[in-house]
Amino acid sequence: MYFIGIDIGTTSVKIIAADENGNVIKTISREYPIYFPKPLWSEQNPEDWWEQSKLGLIDLLDGLDKNQVKAISFSGQMHGLVTLDENDEVIRPAILWNDQRTDEECQYLNKEIGQTIISKWTGNLALTGFTAPKLLWLRKNEPENFNKIKKIMLPKDYLAYKMSGVFATDMSDGSGTLYMDVKNRKWSKDMLELLEISETQLPKLYESYESIGNINAELASELGLNQDVKIVIGGGDQAVAAVGGGVVESGSCSLSLGTSGVVFTSNEKFFVDENNSLHSFCHANGKYHLMGVTLAAASSLKWWVEEINKTNDFDKLLEEAQEAKTDDSLFYLPYLMGERTPHNDPNCRGLFIGMNMTHERKHMTKAVLEGVAFSLRDTFEIMKEMGIEINAISINGGGAKSRLWCQIIADVLDVKVNKLNTNEGPAYGASILASVGYGLFESVEQACKKFIKITNTIEPNKDDVKLYNKKYNKFKKIYPATKELFKELIK
């Protein structure tokens, strides 16, 4: 039996086929463009997701026994605004999670309506990446497009709709819209009224592991699949990545080093930190999770290597950084795209500070790795203040391939860092959800216990823990000292 996971990422779609034992049989990835029509704007064409996903499925299925495909599920970049008209045509390019145009709308929601009220309705405060502020922006700036809307969906839901004809989403992805009552797992009537949208424009909510129907006949014929292949709705990329990393038991924690960086912990019950610094969302296992986000994690390293050093030789720069001693006078702030946790500030920017004539490229590369780790520790500290005890984390994402970066994270967070038998992340988590939706397992937890194993553990170095505690205490002072300056620079 094969279970297919499709991950709609920011730069590419990744599709995997896994068997009933959790073994990855085949992997395909296809890129699509991202557009930046104005500074701080970020958009994609949903048709590009669909076209590349369909072509990727054709490539994936080539050489496989198509009769063995039992279910398909999804993971997707969260918060993106996808709008369809009465003919199911895309009205305008999707506004993505990393788009920063909605600062004014977030100020309105958090200050005029009030953060306390918004949090009561949804469990979260308004952030520029979330979907609700995008709808307010669209209503104000493109009223002709806003008035055409018949369906509002998220990126992965567009694929699910094209493949099944069912207008659906899931609890984990819906949590990131800011118009869902997360605690009670339903759309928030108060937020819908404020946004001037109706529930008829929104998809039906499912748990991430639930089947929403079968593949439509036309697509099944085109792909050579049986018409009884189940379509399982899947979830938001971070929740599904956590499933792919086995983070489904209460108190378990994962750290994702992808384009963005995420610290994620699974919880039985819903709760919110007092400042709404963390995202309080539904988990893909039917429970809840807390999450903090660094917007530019592995993308900070990518920017430093490719854009500044004009090379694709990541290994060379990381080898150099390995030789650099920890320097508590040189710092990097990874705020290339503004920041989410804990600052919620779209105006802050990336920064090197503390350079002197003794510093070489290797020191600056190491500072980039450390700066991302410190930013992730900001989330970690909030979780500890909430009484969440974390002694070990599982790590995934492209940045996790670097042994040096994993060691720095172990030292900065003072926890064991576990590497797993799979590093496929959200696509693998989607295949697990597909297997549960098909009925191979009774629960997501049961599937994860069978499939996911620890292969390597990186222990913190106690001497370096002390050095990084000292350096982190300095790091925490830099943003408050530069916050007002960032505002002036953006004007």
DSSP 107-130: HIIIIIIIHHHHHHHHSS---TTS
Q: In degrees to the nearest 10, what's the CA dihedral of 335, 340, 345, 346?
A: 70
Active-site residue (options: 157, 170, 181, 237): 237
Whole-number Cα distances in Å, 276 to 119, 126, 331, 379, 462: 8, 10, 27, 12, 32
Tell the burial category of 145 from Cβ atoms under 10 Å away from its Cβ (0-12, 13-18, 19+): middle
Q: Is position 170 annotated as part of the catalytic site?
A: no
Residue in the block written with tokens 């994936």: 60
Dump strand ranges (E) for 59-150. Answer: 69-76, 82-84, 94-95
CB neighbour list of residue 360: distance below 8 Å, 6 or more residues apart:
320, 324
CB neighbour list of residue 434: distance below 8 Å, 6 or more residues apart:
3, 4, 5, 70, 71, 72, 73, 230, 232, 234
The phi, psi pair for 127, rounded to 5°, reads -125, 155
Q: In degrees to the nearest 10, what's the CA dihedral of 427, 428, 432, 437?
A: 20
| DSSP label of 201 | G
Residue in the block written with tokens 């508590």: 328
Give, for 205, the enclosing helix (H) or strand (E).
Answer: strand 204-206
Q: Measure CA 443 to chain center.
A: 23
SS3 215: coil
CB neighbour list of residue 485: distance below 8 Å, 6 or more residues apart:
none
Residue 420 tokens read as: 């797993």
Interstrand relation of 261-267 and 279-282 (parallel, antiparallel or unpaired): unpaired
- Asked whether the beta carbons of 122 and 182 are under 8 A apart, the reply is yes
Interstrand relation of 392-396 and 253-257 (parallel, antiparallel or unpaired): parallel
Tell the burial category of 326 from Cβ atoms under 10 Å away from its Cβ (0-12, 13-18, 19+): middle
Supply the residues annotated as catalytic.
237
